[in-house]
Every structure is written in structure tokens, then in C-alpha cells.
Amino acid sequence: MSAPKLSTRDLCKSFEKDGASIEVLRGLNIDIARGEFVSIVGASGCGKTTFLRLVNGLIRPSSGSAFIDGRAVTTPGGEIAFVFQQDGLLPWRTVLDNTIIGPELQGKNMGKARDLASSYLALVGLRGFEKHYPHELSGGMRQRVNMARALTAGADVLLMDEPFAALDAQTREIMQTELTRIWSETGKTVLFVTHQIDEAVFLSDRVLVFTVRPGRLKEEVAIDLPRPRDLALKRRPEFGAHVDRIWRLIEEEVRDSIRRETEEALAAAQR
């Protein structure tokens, strides 16, 4: 692999909580090539969101670093854009004004930003909705604005944290095909977190499987299915084989995680 677009070296994160230290991520070494689409799957609470926030620079690692083009990430903004699970659109701003928030905050040329935003809104299928307000849109449309906003920020790297989790099953499938199309048209590097294994397999070049907390890289699975992919692929045996393999990798982890979450909730209730 040539020099990776995004990499992490010995990335560790612990949180202090009520005087105790919770180790969430331990020694992650990950390399992602320019233009690659990589997904992360893992049991709930294994530190996937924390990992994205570290890579984005929203929080600082306890040790180790994340790098973009070989430079350590220190603050958010600029070369990485984050697509959050909740759309996080400012309700008092129109779709267009939400979409241009990245360039606006970074003091860029607003005329250019508006043109760029309009073209990305068209790309995600929202031409003509520029003047609408978020509360006038459906959940799927708001997630499209969320994506257009990240693209307009001009970042090469998109971090996406379960962006389709709140959508109904049909909308989610449509959004998956849309995302592969947008990804191939824009050539972005994408790091995508999901708890849906079939979503990870369908979208990705590679799937990283995390262990339970403290999150480590358990295994990486290359998805060698041909592109362009369409939804019919999901019914093919080689697709199912990938899904099964990943599910077997995390089944035990998920059971552990459920058991631990139950125990923690009980302990908290008894306190």
C-alpha cells in the first residue's frame, strides 16, 4: 500500500468517570488508503464512536495518535468531516444554510461555498429543497443534508457514525446504494461505523471487526465483491458468506457485551 490517507498508531483512550478509569480503546493500528471505503463493526459500547471522535480531533487520545497524510490530527475541521448518527441540523437554518456551515465556520468564500453546496445537494437528490427547513423534511432527507454538509466542507475523509441507523429498512437500503454512488463519484476516503453487518459488507472494501471494550482490532476482512454493486448482490451466496464470517467473529463479543451491559445496569441500579 502506498502512503495511507488515514492511519492510527498505538491509539489508546481511557475516560475518567466517578474517579474510576474506563479503558475504551487499546493500541489501535489502522491504515486506510486514499479513496478506500472501510467499515467498523463491533458490539455496542466497544468504542466505535470514540474511535471516530479521536480520528476527527474532537477528543484527544490518552496515548498514540491519528494521522491524516502523515500529519497528526490535533483539532477538528479541515480535512475530515463527520457525519453523525443524529443529523444535527440547525433547525433555524434552511437546508442550504445548514449545508454551507463548514466553509462558513472556516471563513471561506461564501459564494463558492453556496455553489458547491447546491451541487452536492443535487448529488444527494435534494435539488429544489435549498430553502426548506429541516423540520419540513423526512428522516432520510435530513440524513442526505447531513451528507451534503460533510461533502461541502471540502474534506477528503468522511467519518460516518451509524448514519442510517435511525432510518426504516427500505430507506436505509436506498441510502446505501446512494452512498456507494456518491463515494465513487467523489473519490472520498470513508470510515463508516455500523452495527449492521450486511450494510458493512455491501458498502466496504474492508471491514474492521473490533473486540469488546477495551476495543482492539480483532480481525480485518477484505470484501472482494465486484463493483459497482447493487441491492441484488445481497442475495448472492458470496455476500452471505462474508456476512456469516463476520457474524461468527463478533457473536461471542456481542454476547459478552450484552452480559456486561446488564451487569453494569444492575450495579448502577443498586448504588
Ligand X SMILES: Nc1ncnc2c1ncn2[C@@H]1O[C@H](COP(=O)(O)OP(=O)(O)O)[C@@H](O)[C@H]1O
For ligand X, the binding residues (CB under 6 A) are 15, 17, 22, 24, 42, 44-50, 213
- Phi and psi angles of residue 211, each rounded to the nearest 5 degrees, phi first: -80, 175
Partner that binds at residue 44, options ligand X, other proteins, Mg ion, none, CB closer than 5 to 8 Å by kind: ligand X
SS3 267: helix
Partner that binds at residue 26, options Mg ion, ligand X, other proteins, none, CB closer than 5 to 8 Å by kind: none
Closest separation between CB of residue 88 and ligand X, Å? 16
Residue 49 interacts with Mg ion (CB under 5 A)?
Answer: yes
Contact call for residues 81 and 160 (beta carbons, < 8 A): no
Interface positions, 221-250, toward Mg ion (CB under 5 A) = none
Q: Which stretch binds other proteins (CB under 8 A): 75-83, 163-171, 181-189, 239-247?
A: 75-83
SS3 124: coil
Q: How many residues bind Mg ion (CB under 5 A)?
A: 1
Residue 78 interacts with other proteins (CB under 8 A)?
Answer: yes
Closest separation between CB of residue 50 and ligand X, Å? 3
Residue 154 has, within 13 A of its CA and on its CB side, a CA count of 17
Measured distance CA(149)–CA(29) in Å, rounded: 29
Measured distance CA(218)–CA(79) in Å, rounded: 28
Measured distance CA(154)–CA(116) in Å, rounded: 9
Sole residue written with cell 454512488: 181
Residues of the shown chain interacting with Mg ion in the complex, contacts defined by CB under 5 A: 49
Residues of the shown chain interacting with other proteins in the complex, contacts defined by CB under 8 A: 56, 58, 75-78, 81-82, 84, 86, 88, 90-92, 101-102, 105-106, 133-135, 153
